[in-house]
Amino acid sequence: MSMDDPQLAERIRASDPEALRTVVETYLGQIHRSALGAGLGPERAREVTQATFATFLEKAPSFEGRSHVRTWLFGILYHKIKEARRGLRQEHQMDEIDEVVEGRFDAKGSWVRPPQAVDLQLYASEIREFFEDCLEKVPTQQRMAFVLREVDELSSKEICKILNISITNLGVLMYRVRNRLRECLEAKGVER
């Protein structure tokens, strides 16, 4: 059965075991990897993945099929991750990364502190650590936007639905998280 089958929503609503099983099998890996990408450790990523599918199976009868089942699953995942990463700061109007990036340009918008060359190949073995360190305290929304875009390669429209934000918001999140990673990697690379 295809995930674009027009009858899929109906079969999910009817809790058709075959349909539910196919959904689980199709998206389990993606959901699990996204939980890891969102910064949960192996243990918590497993828990959150389980909880996401438990909610999916429980709520299946109320699935309206107005959005794709994948969008729905990722929406559930996002809520679970927010709970799991509770205590982290929320996304704000202001973010210190904005000033850092701003400080790289002069009043006319030309580079005063241009990007430095960083050879990531040199740090291949530590790259996971770099990423984790840099993203550790990033607000969940930013981190999720990054994972959904870069790893899951979803469309802007779908990401906005999952995170319940506007396209302008998404642009701001991507701008912040990418610049943050770039600044981190540059700092680490130049340090040595």
Partner 1 sequence: MESCREITKKLASDELREASLWKRLTVRFHLLMCCHCRRYAAQLRTIGETARHLWGPHSEDSSTLERLKREILGTTLGDHEGGNIDSK
Instruction: Give the residues lining the site for partner 1 (CB under 8 A).
Output: 17, 20-21, 24-25, 28-30, 32-34, 36-37, 42, 46, 49-50, 53-54, 57-58, 101, 105, 108-111, 114-115, 117-118, 120, 127-128, 131, 146-147, 149-151, 156, 170-172, 174-175, 178-179, 181-182, 185-186
CB of 36 to partner 1, least distance (A): 6
Q: Is 111 helix (H, G, I), strand (E, B) or coil?
A: strand
Which pair of structure tokens corresponds to residue 5?
Answer: 């089958």
- 105 in the Ramachandran plot: left (φ > 0), alpha (ψ -120 to 50) or beta? beta
CB of 81 to partner 1, least distance (A): 13
Residue 9 or 56 with smaller CB distance to partner 1? 56
CB of 51 to partner 1, least distance (A): 10
Q: With 0-12 CB in 10 A as exposed, 13-18 as middle and 19+ as buried, what is 2?
A: exposed
Q: What is the chain's alpha carbon radius of gyration, rounded to the nearest angstrom? A: 19
CB of 150 to partner 1, least distance (A): 4
Residue 7 or 155 with smaller CB distance to partner 1? 155
Residue 6 or 178 with smaller CB distance to partner 1? 178
CB of 179 to partner 1, least distance (A): 6
Residue 10 or 115 with smaller CB distance to partner 1? 115
Residue 69 or 170 with smaller CB distance to partner 1? 170
Long-range contacts of 130-136 (CB under 8 A, 24+ apart): 130/184, 130/185, 130/188, 131/181, 132/39, 133/184, 134/180, 134/181, 134/184, 134/185, 135/39, 135/177, 135/180, 135/181, 136/39
- C-alpha–C-alpha distance, residues 125 and 119, integer Å: 13
CB of 168 to partner 1, least distance (A): 9
- What amino acid occupies position 42? P
Residue 33's CB: how many other CB atoms inside 10 A?
15
Residue 6 or 119 with smaller CB distance to partner 1? 119
